[in-house]
Structure 1
Amino acid sequence: MSGVDDIPHILVVDDDRRIRNLLQTYLIDNGLRVTMAASAAEAREKMQIVSFDLLVLDIMMPGETGLALTEWLRREGRMVPVLMLSALADPADRIAGLERGSDDYLAKPFEPRELLLRVRRLLRRQEQPPRAETDVRFGPFVFHPQRGELRKGDDLVRLTTRERDFLRRLAARAGQPVARSELAPDGADDEVSRSVDVQINRLRQKIEQDPANPVHLQTVRGTGYVLHVD
């Protein structure tokens, strides 16, 4: 029998009490656990006590912004999925959020049902990420899909959530092209999809001896990317 610990626990971080209450009510009504925080500082305090399954995080908050909090999370090696909310609808703002380490982005005002769908998609991705059956080796690197670990010899290479997800998807289809659309967030427009290229370039910085002339992670013109393995 499943208990409360089996129910995904969401941390909603937003300085707008109305938004917090709306999300709390809607997410709880749809079978999720919810904790709320009114600031990045309060969110940090709660994360010291509870391990959350996902953060719903507003970008524009007084003091520390959602972007800064996400950057801190990734620097600390905390790979909890982040769904960013923002009244900034410009594609450049969405790209900035994705580049800082968020996993998805939703512009305000939003439909609660769309937010719920995105939350569930991110939770499913955590539970059942696409993976290769065995460890994947390329050059001096070994990627362990089940653990999401990339090692160069005995050294652990730190990956962001999105880099880990990219590698799992590429490793699951090693030697075959993976379309850029499969790596972009669901429903992303063309400009946000181009942030995939930025993330790929950052991943190349970690696995290629010469990122400008990649050997392992190559571009397939007009399609996407392919991971060549040993």
Structure 2
Amino acid sequence: MENGSPVRLLVVDDEPHIADLVATVARYEGWQAVTAGSGEAAIRAALDFQPDIVVLDLMLPDVDGFTVLDRLRGEGAMVPVVFLTARDGTADRVAGLTRGGDDYLVKPFSVEELMARLRAVLRRSTGPSWKRSVLKVADLVLDEDTREVRRGDRLVTLTPTEYELLRYLMRRSPTVLTKAQILDHVWEYDFGGRSNVVELVVSHLRRKLDVEGDEPLIHTVRGVGYVLRRAPS
């Protein structure tokens, strides 16, 4: 991490050989890693260990990974979560990303790819502490130092991926950004052509930003991509 302390990783999987493999590779990288084999154990470990990032299986013996994520978010824990699961259906991917997950990797998997994705999520979840910048578009304000986002007087709570996407749109406003540009900047690797992940996160971000009659700020430019700006008067 930027403060010099090792990354704390929680690996949640009911297959011990997978959990131990990921934890061992992470420790080889200099990270601290603990494992949990059930949803309840994962929640207890998360609250006790306070990880910087979580690898979370969907199919657990007690509660599923979605429930674990919901309960962590309910506790106010906005720790980034990467799903690692054998469930490769589109509905599962959509649910994982729109419910606050930051990435979704399907088994069987490459440990090297998983570690690359974890590092990418961590990069976008911890901004540089030496740089302070406040971005503003209309009544939307993003403080890069505190990572606080406000819409008017309302505090907006975002996942690391949502935050990085919003920051990119605000930094480039009023430029129209293509899905490919957003994928390259926010996810930092080839998402296998699944550009619909951008649509999913943008949709989730819109629901958080535009409430109580707020003016929509993220606009779709058909056939091109997205732009964050006031609507033309």
* TM norm. shorter chain > 0.5: yes
One-letter code of the match for 1:205? R
One-letter code of the match for 1:188? F
**2:195 equivalent to 1:196:** no
Whole-angstrom CA distance in 2 between matches of 1:123 and 1:7:
12
Whole-angstrom CA distance in 2 between matches of 1:87 and 1:219:
33
Deviation at residue 203 of structure 1 after TM alignment: 2.2
- The RMSD of aligned alpha carbons is 2.8
Equivalent residue number for residue 226 of structure 1: 227
Q: How does 1:41-190 map to 2 (within 5 A)?
A: 41-128=40-127, 134-184=133-183, 185=187, 186-190=189-193
Q: Which moved more, 1:106-115 or 1:42-51?
A: 42-51
- Length-normalised TM-score, structure 2: 0.83
Among the aligned pairs, what percent are the same residue?
Answer: 35
Tell me: CA distance 1:204–1:7, structure 2 relative to 1, closer, same or farther (3 Å).
same
Deviation at residue 56 of structure 1 after TM alignment: 0.7
Deviation at residue 93 of structure 1 after TM alignment: 2.1
Whole-angstrom CA distance in 2 between matches of 1:58 and 1:106:
10
Tell me: CA distance 1:29–1:55, structure 2 relative to 1, closer, same or farther (3 Å).
same
SS of aligned partner of 1:19: helix
Whole-angstrom CA distance in 1 between matches of 2:206 and 2:165:
12
1:129-149 per-residue CA deviation (whole Å, 9 max, x = no partner) reads 7xx963223333322233222
Q: Does structure 2 conserve the Cα–Cα contact (< 8 Å) formed by 1:11 and 1:54?
A: yes
One-letter code of the match for 1:217? I
SS of aligned partner of 1:6: coil
- Length-normalised TM-score, structure 1: 0.84
One-letter code of the match for 2:139? P
Whole-angstrom CA distance in 2 between matches of 1:144 and 1:109:
39
Q: Does structure 1 conserve the Cα–Cα contact (< 8 Å) formed by 2:54 and 2:79?
A: yes
Tell me: CA distance 1:153–1:128, structure 2 relative to 1, closer, same or farther (3 Å).
closer
Tell me: CA distance 1:15–1:182, structure 2 relative to 1, closer, same or farther (3 Å).
farther
Tell me: CA distance 1:178–1:214, structure 2 relative to 1, closer, same or farther (3 Å).
farther
Whole-angstrom CA distance in 1 between matches of 2:73 and 2:181:
23
Q: Does structure 2 conserve the Cα–Cα contact (< 8 Å) formed by 1:77 and 1:158?
A: no
Q: Does structure 2 conserve the Cα–Cα contact (< 8 Å) formed by 1:13 and 1:55?
A: yes
The total of aligned residue pairs comes to: 224
Equivalent residue number for residue 217 of structure 1: 218
Q: Does structure 2 conserve the Cα–Cα contact (< 8 Å) formed by 1:10 and 1:33?
A: yes
Q: Show structure 2 runs of 5+ residues with no match.
A: none
Deviation at residue 12 of structure 1 after TM alignment: 0.4
Deviation at residue 151 of structure 1 after TM alignment: 1.7
Q: Does structure 2 conserve the Cα–Cα contact (< 8 Å) formed by 1:74 and 1:160?
A: no
SS of aligned partner of 1:83: strand
Q: Show structure 1 runs of 5+ residues with no match.
A: none
Deviation at residue 78 of structure 1 after TM alignment: 1.7
Deviation at residue 123 of structure 1 after TM alignment: 1.8
Equivalent residue number for residue 31 of structure 1: 30
Q: Does structure 2 conserve the Cα–Cα contact (< 8 Å) formed by 1:101 and 1:161?
A: no
SS of aligned partner of 2:136: strand
1:8-65 per-residue CA deviation (whole Å, 9 max, x = no partner) reads 1100011111111211222212222111111121121122222211101111111111
